[in-house]
Amino acid sequence: MADAVFHPSHYSTGRFTIECIAITRHMSCCASNAFKYTFRHREKNGLEDLRKAAVYLRWAIEDAHPAVLPGREQHVRELVAEHILPYSIGHYEALIDIASSNYAEALNRVESAIRDYERGAA
């Protein structure tokens, strides 16, 4: 049974081999929220989470802040390479884009996933 406070199931189950917080704690606000909502959408709120991710990605584009906090870049690159990259296909590739501060490409992927959900193809 998952611990609802420290290890919620929507962050510790699914396709990835890491909990979301292990990466997002090293990211800026908008980037970390976009990452979180994209990461968990299948295990928690589906379309609603993708729409939230899109909002945070638009804000990240406006703010133009780097995704990863200064001094944490190498650590995040290693975590993403080991725990996200091997399991990222389709719109989950947005996680790699977010971690790389490629917000526009991440937004394209998330909006594509939203369209898939809306027409029942997700």
Residue 4 lies inside a defined structural domain of this protein: no
What is the percent of the chain with per-residue pLDDT over 90, rounded to a whole number? Answer: 70
Task: Specify whether the CB–CB gap between 93 and 107 falls below 8 A.
Answer: no
Mean pLDDT of 89-100: 92
The phi, psi pair for 23, rounded to 5°, reads -100, -50
- Of the CA atoms within 13 Å of residue 11, those in its CB half-sphere come to 15
CA separation, residue 53 to residues 8, 59, 70, 97, 111 (Å): 19, 10, 23, 13, 9
Residue 114 lies inside a defined structural domain of this protein: yes
Residue 37 lies inside a defined structural domain of this protein: yes
- Among 14-23, 33-42, 107-116, the range scoring the smallest mean pLDDT is 14-23
Domain region containing 56: 9-118
Residue 55 lies inside a defined structural domain of this protein: yes
The Cα 28–Cα 101 span in angstroms is 10
CA separation, residue 73 to residues 20, 21, 27 (Å): 16, 15, 9
For residue 57, pLDDT over 60 is answered with yes
Residue 107 lies inside a defined structural domain of this protein: yes
| Count of beta carbons in the 10 Å neighbourhood of residue 91 | 22
| Single pTM value for the model | 0.89
Residue 91 lies inside a defined structural domain of this protein: yes
Residue 2 lies inside a defined structural domain of this protein: no
Name the residue with tokens 């802040």: 65
* Structural domain total, the chain: 1
For residue 10, pLDDT over 60 is answered with no
Residue 1 lies inside a defined structural domain of this protein: no
